[in-house]
Amino acid sequence: MENKPAGKWKAPFGNSITRRYATGYILITAIAVVLFLVSFFSGRMLSSRYELAVNDLLELNNLFVRVEDTNRVVFDYYFYLRPLSGQQYYQDAAKTREQLEDIQAHMDASYSREVMDLCCIVDTFLQKTDQLVANVTVFRSEGGTGNRTELGAAYSETQQILGFISQSFQDVYISKLEITNRMQTQLMQIQRILNIVQISMLILAVAVSAIFFQRVVRGMSDSVNQLIDLADGITRNPRCQEHIHLDTGDELTVFADAFNEMMDTIHAQMEQIEQNSRMREQLQKVEMENLRISSALQSSQLKLLQARINPHFLFNTLNMATQMAHMEDAEETAQLLEATADFLRYNLGKVTKSVTLLDEIENTKNYVYIQRCRFGDRIRFAFDVDETCGRLEIPCMILQPLVENAVSHGVGSMIGGGAVTVRLFRQGNGVCLEVRDNGVGMEPQVLEKLRKSFTQELFDDGHIGLHNVYQRLRLFFGAELGFELESRPGDTCIRMLLPE
């Protein structure tokens, strides 16, 4: 057989494997795309219409819940005259008005008389409760010597309006629910029609696939099987001189000719390969030695890697505990674990690097969250941050030790009312970072000793963290660093002026 040069022969375009497969795949892909588009857009249409109806119900329900929350606060403020209830009322009333405005904005697009009446009643309720709370506040400021009868009448009026709201809400809810049920019935009918269309498209895709397999794939499979049989025979008898002859008129013919040429080349090279076998054995010995050396190197690298596993194991353990807390609905525990993991990851990963002020503040917030879980309401933490200053780079672990000192030496021993404030703002040509607490303060002698210690290289006292912070900032910013420490009973402030 005269072999054609491999790579120079091309099958006619209409009879090539590429053309055959392209035709079949284009048809199947087109059907799949149509099926996907029908399913996708029909699903989007059905879900959007149903979600719109359900959202209307949810918005109405949220409004009713807001009204009830507001009424509970009014009840508490009217009967018990608690100041916190008066403050809470304005927050709840603002949320109720916000929910009311959302419903009214939506009502402009789809008018509903029942919903409009409900909104008007709720607005009247809020006006009456505003007036009642204002009168109760005046009554309370006068020491309870005002006219309680008028307040009672005003309170009764708000409760009567609340009853109207409840009845109106029930009427609107029932009306909306009936509309939603009718819409659901219509959507189910549309869904059945779409299911029929999808099944029809799926049957068409299966039919096209079957025709494609019968006319294209099977013919090529027969040719490939002949190649496999020849390869299997050569595997059993490498010196076999048999050639394969295919006349399919496509790329498989070129492949068969190339396969025959390859076998001729292999037979010609076998003798040379046998002559070089001894050399290969020697090379294999060298390679084995190299593998042994490489294995020893990998073993040493593994030991080095194992030394770094423990922190990652700790992070993975904390993450696993966080996920378990989420699964068990222990959200506060999950947040505590997440804050602890972020705090440890920051301390271990960036301790030798410079970071931005915003990074330090975020890390300190994780520490503060942990302390809040520990101290509860005993200590109040506040952050006043100008984010335009946050890109300034500083050494890692500067802010958190200062806040920790404020807790440990300042407000930690207080039973309640403790406060720690962190401020970041611009001052002159630099950025000012300030930590202030209202703790016990320091004696003048201790304060003076601490100020003098900043110029010493070693300092052994309870405020070693403050000394360490100053020394690292001094090395980072040089003589341009400004560092002030002020303290008196009830007010301790550490202020750092950092040059930009």
pLDDT, tens only, 412-471: 888 888 999 999 999 988 999 999 999 988 898 988 888 887 776 554 544 557 888 888
Could you tell me the pLDDT band of residue 231, with boundaries at 50, 70 and 90? confident
Q: Is residue 287 part of a domain?
A: no
Q: Look-up: residue for tokens 């962190």?
A: 422
- Among residues 326, 478, 342, the alpha carbon closest in space to that of 400 is found at 342
Q: Is residue 295 part of a domain?
A: no
Could you give the CA distance from residue 160 to residue 182 in angstroms, rounded to a whole number?
A: 34
Instruction: Tell me how many domains the chain contains.
Output: 3
Q: Is residue 289 part of a domain?
A: no
Q: Look-up: residue for tokens 């052994």?
A: 460
442 and 333 share one domain: no
Using a 10 angstrom Cβ sphere, with 0-12 exposed, 13-18 middle and 19 or more buried, the burial of residue 424 is: buried
Cα separations in angstroms, 91 against 74, 75, 475? 12, 15, 49
What pLDDT does 167 receive? 87
Q: Which amino acid is at 157?
A: E
The DSSP-derived string for 370-426 is HHHHHHGGGEEEEEEE-GGGTT-EEESSSHHHHHHHIIIIIITT-SS-EEEEEEEEE
Q: Is residue 431 part of a domain?
A: yes
Query: In this predicted structure, which of 46-55, 168-177, 189-198 has the lowest mean pLDDT?
Result: 46-55
Q: Determine contact, residues 392/433, Cβ cutoff 8 Å.
A: no
Q: What is the mean pLDDT of residues 115-134?
A: 88
Compute how many other C-beta atoms are within 10 angstroms of the C-beta atom of residue 26.
10
pLDDT, tens only, 252-284: 777 777 777 777 787 777 767 777 777 777 777
- Among residues 353, 356, 411, 355, the alpha carbon closest in space to that of 382 is found at 411
Identify the H or E element spanning 484: strand 482-488
Q: 4 pLDDT exceeds 80?
A: no
Q: Is residue 285 part of a domain?
A: no
Q: 237 pLDDT exceeds 80?
A: no
- Among residues 392, 378, 485, 377, the alpha carbon closest in space to that of 430 is found at 392
What pLDDT does 57 receive? 75
168 and 201 share one domain: yes
pLDDT, tens only, 325-355: 666 666 666 666 666 766 666 665 555 678 8
What pLDDT does 304 receive? 32
pLDDT, tens only, 320-332: 566 556 666 666 6
Orientation angle between helical segments 148-212 and 113-141, nearest 10 degrees = 140
Could you tell me the pLDDT band of residue 110, with boundaries at 50, 70 and 90? low
How would you classify the pairing of strands 379-385 and 418-427?
parallel
121 and 196 share one domain: yes
pLDDT, tens only, 295-321: 533 443 333 333 333 454 455 556 556
What pLDDT does 377 receive? 85
Q: CATH number of the domain at 390, please.
A: 3.30.565.10
> 184-222 as b/e, with b when 16 or more CB fall inside 10 Å?
eeebeeeeeebeeebeebeeebeeeeeebeeebeeebee
340 and 360 share one domain: no
146 and 245 share one domain: yes
What pLDDT does 457 receive? 58
pLDDT, tens only, 130-142: 998 888 888 888 7
Q: Determine contact, residues 266/239, Cβ cutoff 8 Å.
A: no
54 and 162 share one domain: yes
Q: Determine contact, residues 183/47, Cβ cutoff 8 Å.
A: no
- What domain range is 474 assigned to? 351-499
67 and 165 share one domain: yes
Q: Determine contact, residues 492/437, Cβ cutoff 8 Å.
A: yes
Cross-strand pairs, 424: 385, 433
> 443-481 as b/e, with b when 16 or more CB fall inside 10 Å?
eeeebeebeebeeeeebeeebebbbebbbebeeebeeeb
Could you give the CA distance from residue 451 to residue 454 in angstroms, rounded to a whole number?
A: 6
Q: What is the mean pLDDT of residues 216-230?
A: 72
- Among residues 193, 67, 83, the alpha carbon closest in space to that of 139 is found at 83
Could you tell me the pLDDT band of residue 383, with boundaries at 50, 70 and 90? very high
Enter the tokens of residue 145: 């010597």
Torsion of CA 114, 119, 121, 125, to 10 degrees: 160
256 and 336 share one domain: no
What pLDDT does 311 receive? 53
Q: What is the mean pLDDT of residues 215-244?
A: 72
Identify the H or E element spanning 271: helix 251-275
Q: Is residue 460 part of a domain?
A: yes
Q: What is the mean pLDDT of residues 7-21?
A: 57
Q: Which amino acid is at 271?
A: E
Q: 9 pLDDT exceeds 50?
A: no
Domain boundary among 228, 256, 275: 275
103 and 163 share one domain: yes
**Residue partners of 85: CB distance under 8 A and separation at least 6:** 73, 76, 77
Q: 16 pLDDT exceeds 90?
A: no
3-state SS, residue 347:
helix
Q: Is residue 302 part of a domain?
A: no
271 and 342 share one domain: no
What pLDDT does 280 receive? 79
16 and 53 share one domain: yes
52 and 138 share one domain: yes
Q: Is residue 280 part of a domain?
A: no
Positive or negative CA dihedral for 317, 323, 324, 330? Answer: positive
